[in-house]
Amino acid sequence: MMVRSPRLRGNDTVATTVATPTDTEPARTTAGIELRGVVKRYGSANALRGLDLEIRDGEFFCLLGPSGCGKTTTLNLIGGFVAPTEGEIWIQGRRIDTLPPHKRPVNTVFQSYALFPHMNVRENVRFGLKMDRVPRVESTERVEEALALVGLEDYGDRSPAQLSGGQQQRVAVARALVKRPAVLLLDEPLGALDLKLRQRLQIELAQIHRDVGTTFVYVTHDQEEAMSMADRIAVMNDGRVEQLGSPEEVYRRPVSRFVADFIGDSNFFAADVAGPTATLADGTCVPCEGGRSGAATLMVRPETIRLGGGEGSIAGRVVHTSFLGSYVRVAVETGAAEAPVMVALREATLVPAPGETVSLSWSAADGIVLEAGS
């Protein structure tokens, strides 16, 4: 079904889709996309507060965050639908923030797909090439290639209304990729689909990304989606990038409580840290990573907590256990934290009963020290 098509590789043909920029400033960088000090204000509200971001050529980059964090604004800034209040945007060494949307080497897959209902699938995909005045023979070939890339080669004559949500989403991807953009922007493209289909399309999108080698910038509020596809994730909060890194880095080494809370499940303890030891609210001393001292927030992932252990463990009473298929979640009430501590257990045989008293422990490397404060 998937046809590997090297012809759709984006980067070599960008020149044909980019108009000559009007300003003559020399290129400063050859990064895929570079945002320099980008600020966007709506009236007095700050949507983005000074964004510096470098997206590498050919990478699958995710902008992840809750609604209102500025991720969609960032996408719209790159796409040209919103003008920055301050700052510059560069794509492959070319400044683009002064260009209108139709002159940028960027194409977008919209959340609502925005397919043209008065055209059939093939005409939808051809539209962008028509606008570029690509000769008929070549455009026909490229349209068929793009449809094959998304597995819709037999659907060219259908009207968008005759397609399922997943198929419409694939048409939107084909329509954008047929132009061989330097950058493909995806605005929560799977948001409207059900979970199973979403998971399948995540794999397909990652595959398409490998096939075409174009830089993908993907906006989502779904951490699982970001983790499953992205090379790197920018976790955004309140108009700022809170953390930038690979999915593993962001999960294992969150830099703030916000990131730790937004990505995956976590337990937080108010703690007083001195070296590799943290003193919790109830006076127990637990191991933690070293390097910082003073008041801090200690973060421990549920799956790194073990039941049992002597020195450096906290005591608690099991209040609830839930069987979640691949693991069992145990909620333990302790004196060390207000909320019950969540523990994820892989081995079902070790599950304690509610009411049982247990002790919890973890290794020093799993006790992540974050800045203090709620």
Q: Which is nearer to another protein, 131 or 295 (CB)?
A: 131
Residue 276 found at the interface with another protein (CB under 8 A): no
SS3 call for 179: coil
Determine the interface stretch with another protein among 42-50, 109-117, 219-227, 288-296 (rule: CB under 8 A): 109-117
Closest to 278 in 3D by CA, of 332, 330, 337, 326: 337
The reply to whether 71 sits near another protein by the rule CB under 8 A is no
Which tokens is 45 given? 């509200």
Nearest-approach distance from CB 100 to another protein, in angstroms: 7
Helix, strand, coil shares of the chain, percent, nearest 5, are 30, 30, 40
Is residue 175 close enough to count as binding another protein by CB under 8 A? yes
Which is closer to another protein, CB of 118 or CB of 196?
A: 118
Residues 4-63 that bind another protein (CB under 8 A): 17
Would you say 115 or 288 has its CB closer to another protein? 115
The CA-atom distances, in angstroms, between 343 and each of 12, 270, 302, 306 are: 50, 18, 4, 8
**Subset of 181-200 contacting another protein (CB under 8 A):** none
**Where would I find the beta strands (DSSP E) of the chain?**
33-42, 45-55, 60-64, 86-91, 94-95, 106-109, 183-187, 215-220, 232-237, 240-245, 267-274, 277-280, 285-287, 294-300, 306-307, 314-323, 328-334, 341-345, 357-361, 368-371
CB of 113 to another protein, least distance (A): 8
Work out how close the CB of 277 gets to another protein at its nearest, in angstroms, rounded to a whole number: 55
In the complex with another protein, the residue whose CB is nearer, 208 or 345, is: 208
In the complex, least distance from residue 65 CB atom to another protein, rounded to whole angstroms? 22
The answer to the question of residue 128 lying near another protein (CB under 8 A) is yes
What is the nearest approach in angstroms of another protein to the Cβ of residue 118? Answer: 5
131 binds another protein (CB under 8 A): yes
Is 58 or 80 the residue whose CB approaches another protein more closely?
80
**Identity of the residue numbered 38:** V
Specify the DSSP class assigned to residue 150: T
Distance between CA atoms of residues 38 and 59, nearest Å: 21
The DSSP bridge partners found for residue 39 are 86
List the one residue from 94, 122, 179, 209 that touches another protein (CB under 8 A). 179
Closest approach of Cβ 147 to another protein, in Å?
Answer: 16
Q: Please state whether beta strands 306-307 and 357-361 pair in parallel, antiparallel, or not at all (unpaired).
A: antiparallel
Would the CA dihedral through 304, 308, 313, 316 be positive or negative? Answer: positive
Q: Does 132 bind another protein (CB under 8 A)?
A: yes
Minimal distance, residue 106 CB to another protein, in Å: 8
Candidate ranges 105-113, 135-143, 212-220, 341-349; the one touching another protein (CB under 8 A): 105-113
User: CB neighbours (10 Å) of residue 288?
Assistant: 28
* Residue 323 is a binding residue for another protein (CB under 8 A): no
Q: Give me the residues that bind another protein (CB under 8 A), please.
A: 17, 79-81, 100-102, 106-108, 110, 112, 114-118, 127-128, 131-132, 159, 161, 175-176, 179
